[in-house]
Chains A and B, each alone.
Chain A
Amino acid sequence: MDCPSDTVFILEDVNLFFGSVPILTDVNITIRQRSITSIIGPSGSGKSTLLRTLNRLNDHYPTFRCTGLVSYCGNSIYDNRNGSVDVSRLRQDIGMVFQKPCLFPTSIYENVLFGVKRLKLRPKSEFYEIAETMLRAVFLWDEVKDRLKHSANELSQGQQQRLSLARALACEPKVLLLDEPTASLDPKSSEAIESLILKLGTRLTVIFVTHHLEQAKQLSETVIFLSDGCVCEWGGVDAIFSCPDKIMTQQYLAGHAS
């Protein structure tokens, strides 16, 4: 789907609840196309919840509620009055990678193609080519090309995470959500993911959650800082890191630096 304007996501007066507990209130942010945005904040501040709101993954928690306007490419994605939102289609447009690499207990090859195959996005004849392209894109091809049929669980954590990324990319998403993608990885694998994020940011809209401030600083153009149940501050990376407006942001940044 093509985005008519420059903004991919617009959130206006959004409130997120689990049951009657407000997790985030009064969220007002916009996210530009082909930009890299990071979400930071203390743990439990609702980073994952916010991220998962964007592809409606929270729907699978029965108590989750969302009010306000969340629009993706000009369409309100929670406005389901006439059943007009095709959630499955929305999620095809929005790839996601989780903190813990989650591979299905099949081969490496099958895992890369999992989405493509199930969604019948491409003809069968292109499968091998897609697998190769995607694995190359995440710098995994050379490491696994001789054992594509092996179980994906043989791979190291770092490789698994890159494979998860390849699987998401194979569906040709316009947006990529990553929830602490490097949190369970060793430094070297983290580096690989980081450089991938930078590379992908030139053609996709990337939004990632992290608790490495350094990572947020280096990779993202925009930073969203969550704290105490609201978006405490958001804006350009330089503004937030060099002269944060709010005391809370200052404290958080300082606390992490020391």
Chain B
Amino acid sequence: MMTSVRGRGLVGRFWFLLTMLTTVLSVMLLVSVVSVMVAKGGAVLTWEFFSQPSRSFGAEGGIRSQIMGTLILAVGAGLISLPIALGTALYQSEYLSLRFQSVVMRLIYALNGVPTILFGLFGYLVFGLYFGLGISWLSGVLILAMMILPTLVVSIREAIESIPVQYREAGLALGMTIPQLIRTVIIPYSFHGIVTGLLLGLARATGETAAILFTATTFFGVDLPKSFNEPVTTLQTHILVLSQEAVHLSATSAVWGSALTLMVLVFCFSSGALVIRSRFGVKV
């Protein structure tokens, strides 16, 4: 009935097509990453592959020690980082003025921006040399704990901030002290944020290579560490070394298998975080 103004509809259609194209492309790119990984690595994922240590330069056996090593480092980092992150978030929200809180958040964001390789350099010198831990799993755990700290703090803070003021006031009106308030109100009502942060942190630590490359891991010859100053072997190192040096075909397929395993491990943690996030009404 009414005529259109100067080709606006055309521009709109073009615009729509263009953005749709970017979406399709993005999704295709990411889907192809996953499908290539599954296609290349899926075939070697058997129980033997997970349950046996690797032999003959990765060409035979499985990746048991590597999985263990990756998990030891990640879980260790999570265990160390969690209380510190929680303490930080609580101290900030309960004891600091708003202005100071934002200063602290800047420092946390700054820490988050530090490239992971620099944690490696720093940790190598401080934990490895000064503390005498050498190249060991404990160095790795400490380094990764520093690295994932911002992720945990931000996630926990987000949850604490979203606690309705009334809850807090209800607690204070009952005459609670701040430590009591923390125990009875803040932690229970930000619990989902704590778990989310931990899972996100674990995901990050699990996928990290650079920071532990020359500080905590070795390619070969270890299964489970027996003391604090022994290195572990991890999926990440396994992939890194084998991808560059594997000559044997079966070693190459073991690399794909390790990479797929690593990716799945990371996905487990991050999808756990995602589920909790959407469950608790935080926007996805």
Contact = CB atoms under 8 A, between A and B. Distances in A.
Interface in A1-18: 1
A1 B3 CA distance: 10
A86 B6 CA distance: 13
A89 interface: yes
B5 A120 contact: yes
Contacts of A90: 2
A89 B9 CA distance: 11
Contacts of B6: 120
A251 interface: no
B11 to A, nearest CB: 11
A88 interface: yes
A84 B5 contact: no
Contact of B5 (A75, A85, A89): A89
Interface residues of B, number: 7
B79 to A, nearest CB: 45
Interface string A106-123: 000000000000011000
Nearest to A121: B5
Contacts of B3: 86, 89
B1 A85 contact: yes
B8 A88 contact: yes
Contacts of A1: 2
Interface string A55-85: 0000000000000000000010000000011
Contacts of A75: 1-2
A120 B8 CA distance: 10
Contacts of A85: 1-2
Nearest to B12: A88
A75 B6 CA distance: 22
B177 interface: no
Contacts of B1: 75, 84-86
Interface string A171-214: 00000000000000000000000000000000000000000000
A90 B2 CA distance: 8
Contacts, number: 22
Contacts of B5: 88-89, 119-120
Contacts of B8: 88
Nearest to A85: B1
Contacts of A93: 2
A7 to B, nearest CB: 16
Contacts of A89: 2-5
Interface string A1-39: 100000000000000000000000000000000000000
Contacts of B2: 1, 75, 85-86, 89-90, 93
Interface string B1-42: 111111010000000000000000000000000000000000
Contacts of A88: 4-5, 8
A1 B5 CA distance: 13
Nearest to A77: B1
Nearest to A88: B8
A85 B2 CA distance: 7
A16 B119 CA distance: 61
A93 B1 CA distance: 13
B35 to A, nearest CB: 32
A85 B4 CA distance: 10
A152 B122 CA distance: 50
Interface in B126-159: none
Counting chain A CB atoms within 10 Å of each CB, the highest count among B1, B5, B6 belongs to B1
A86 B1 CA distance: 7
Interface string A93-104: 100000000000
A88 B2 CA distance: 10
B9 to A, nearest CB: 8
A5 to B, nearest CB: 15
Nearest to A73: B1
Contacts of A119: 5
A80 to B, nearest CB: 10
B13 to A, nearest CB: 13
6 contacts: A1-B2, A85-B2, A86-B1, A88-B8, A90-B2, A119-B5
In the complex, the 6 A-B pairs of residues with the closest C-beta atoms, listed nearest first: A89-B2, A75-B1, A86-B2, A84-B1, A86-B4, A1-B2
Interface of B: 1-6, 8
Interface of A: 1, 75, 84-86, 88-90, 93, 119-120
Given A86-B3, A90-B2, A93-B2, 13 more contacts: A1-B2, A75-B1, A75-B2, A84-B1, A86-B2, A86-B4, A88-B8, A89-B2, A89-B3, A89-B4, A119-B5, A120-B5, A120-B6
